[in-house]
Structure 1
Amino acid sequence: MLRALIWDVDGTVAETEADGHRIAFNQAFEACGLDWHWDLPTYGQLLEVTGGRERLLAYMDRRDDAPASPAGRAALARAVHLRKNAFYADLVARGGIPARPGVRRLMDECQRQEVRLAIATTTSTSNVEALFSSLFGPTWRDRFAAIVCAEDAPRKKPDPQAYLLALRRLGVTPQEAFAIEDSPNGLRAARAAGLRCGITCSRYFADAGFEGAAWLRPDLETPRPMTLQTLQALDGAAESETRPRGRP
């Protein structure tokens, strides 16, 4: 029996990466006086690294103008990431990032059917607060029985820490829950926690491999609305013929 549905955030609930985090990073670079810019392909490559600060540190490895010492790089990554989060919050507050198709409908169905909702993400609490306040209003936290963010689970996906903590806070077994993700690292994290996991391919992971996914589709409305009744019925029958094609 399904008792809980656990959601990733970035790319799963909303297409936050290309038109949200990437833009905010570029604004932060400018504000910090850095002659850096992440175009769409560059950011897509950097998404192989999970976590904003970790992404910055990986980028610094290829920059001659980055601080030479590890401590200097870590300090710069913290400063840029703090500014980036402020720019991101302003962007989503202006309604610039909508929920992906079917997300709100499936969440509403879960609430009607008394299937608890949870968040398992390695993005920061401030980013989640900004996005979900914009999408669901100031009482958004009332929707969720468990919320796990980067501050709760510092080990980034594909480490299963975020999912294991979400399960513990929900008080359910992996067999009683289901995860929805958009990336290979997210899928690996969910599977390592013992969860079945469905994939709604986000913009940057349209061509990625998703071995072990319970199902695979472009979003929660295509080719047909995903409901709680069909969510588990599709388990093990990935709808690979419906996946989107091509990267940005």
Structure 2
Amino acid sequence: MIKAVVFDFDGLIMDTETFEYYSFRDLLQDYGLELPFQLYSSRIGGHVDSFDPYRYLQERCAEPLDRELLRELRREKFAALFANEHARPGVEDYLCEAKEAGLLIGLASSAPKDWVVPLLDKLRLTSYFGCIRTFENATRVKPDPELYLQVLQFFDIAPQEAVAFEDSPNGALAAKRAGMRCVIVPNELTRGLTFPEVDLRLNSMRDLSLNTMIRLLEQA
């Protein structure tokens, strides 16, 4: 019996990942360079150090670059792209359904808390979550299962009693390594990536109601 739902944040609740990629892509284009998505994709949903776009840029430029200036320029590009973003379709519906059904609701994100929580506050979704675990809580982030295992431990439930919602291969792998059911809802950036074996794939959380989705998982 499913007792809990656990959400990723970046790319799943808000499609921050697509705009982050675009902001790095546009920054490199200012220097006449392309940003290879195959290299960049390794950092999606996992540790940002798995691929460093700033280092990639510096290694291909003859002159030394000011990394802090690059960061500032990149953030400006991101802010302009991301200014009018909202939660992805169906996210709040799922949270409302979960709350009405009496399910435990958690969040496990490889991103820092000072990034995740202010955005949840902006969306007015923070109060739905009984447990939030972010970068600072773990010694190893996704695709390691530690963040998910911490949420399961907090709720005092078995892995098979929880469903994880993910948008990236790194996140899906973390959930499956934790022994959980995993439903993927890829975004614009991740829909073409190769995912590990998961329990269900949706184009949008509006494809199925949460109750119908849970019923399908429990009957499988």
- TM category (shorter chain) comes to 0.7 to 0.9
Note the C-alpha offset of 1:210: 2.9
Note the C-alpha offset of 1:217: 1.6
Percent of residue pairs bearing the same amino acid type: 26
Q: What is residue 52 of structure 2 aligned with on the other side?
A: 56
Q: What is residue 106 of structure 1 aligned with on the other side?
A: 94
User: d(CA) in 1 for partners of 2:169 and 2:10?
Assistant: 13
User: d(CA) in 2 for partners of 1:209 and 1:17?
Assistant: 16
Deviations 1:6-33 (A, max 9, x none): 00111111211122x3456579x79xxx
Which of 93, 108, 116 is 2:104 aligned to? Answer: 116
Q: What is residue 149 of structure 2 aligned with on the other side?
A: 164
Deviations 1:11-68 (A, max 9, x none): 111211122x3456579x79xxxx76887x6456412122334432784387244999
Question: Taking structure 1 as reference, are residues 64 and 26 closer, same or farther at Cα in structure 2, changes over 3 Å only?
Answer: closer
Amino acid at match of 2:90: G
User: d(CA) in 2 for partners of 1:61 and 1:123?
Assistant: 23
Q: What is residue 213 of structure 2 aligned with on the other side?
A: 230
Gaps of 5+ in 2: none
Question: Taking structure 1 as reference, are residues 91 and 133 closer, same or farther at Cα in structure 2, changes over 3 Å only?
Answer: farther
Q: What is residue 46 of structure 1 aligned with on the other side?
A: 40
User: d(CA) in 2 for partners of 1:38 and 1:182?
Assistant: 28
Deviations 1:153-174 (A, max 9, x none): 2413111111111111222110
Note the C-alpha offset of 1:152: 1.0
Amino acid at match of 2:160: Q
Amino acid at match of 1:47: S
User: d(CA) in 1 for partners of 2:42 and 2:215?
Assistant: 29
Note the C-alpha offset of 1:219: 1.0
| Pair 1:15-2:11 in alignment | no
Following superposition of structure 1 onto structure 2, how do residues 149-228 of structure 1 map, counting pairs within 5 Å?
A: 149-222=134-207, 225-228=208-211
TM normalised by structure 1 equals 0.71
Question: Taking structure 1 as reference, are residues 37 and 5 closer, same or farther at Cα in structure 2, changes over 3 Å only?
Answer: farther
Question: Taking structure 1 as reference, are residues 131 and 55 closer, same or farther at Cα in structure 2, changes over 3 Å only?
Answer: farther
Deviations 1:170-192 (A, max 9, x none): 22110211101111111110000
CA contact (8 A) 1:120 1:162 kept: yes
Indicate the SS of the match to 2:126. Answer: helix
CA contact (8 A) 2:140 2:146 kept: yes
Q: Which has the higher contact order (CA 8 A, sep 6+)?
A: 2
Following superposition of structure 1 onto structure 2, how do residues 139-158 of structure 1 map, counting pairs within 5 Å?
A: 140-158=125-143
Indicate the SS of the match to 2:135. Answer: coil
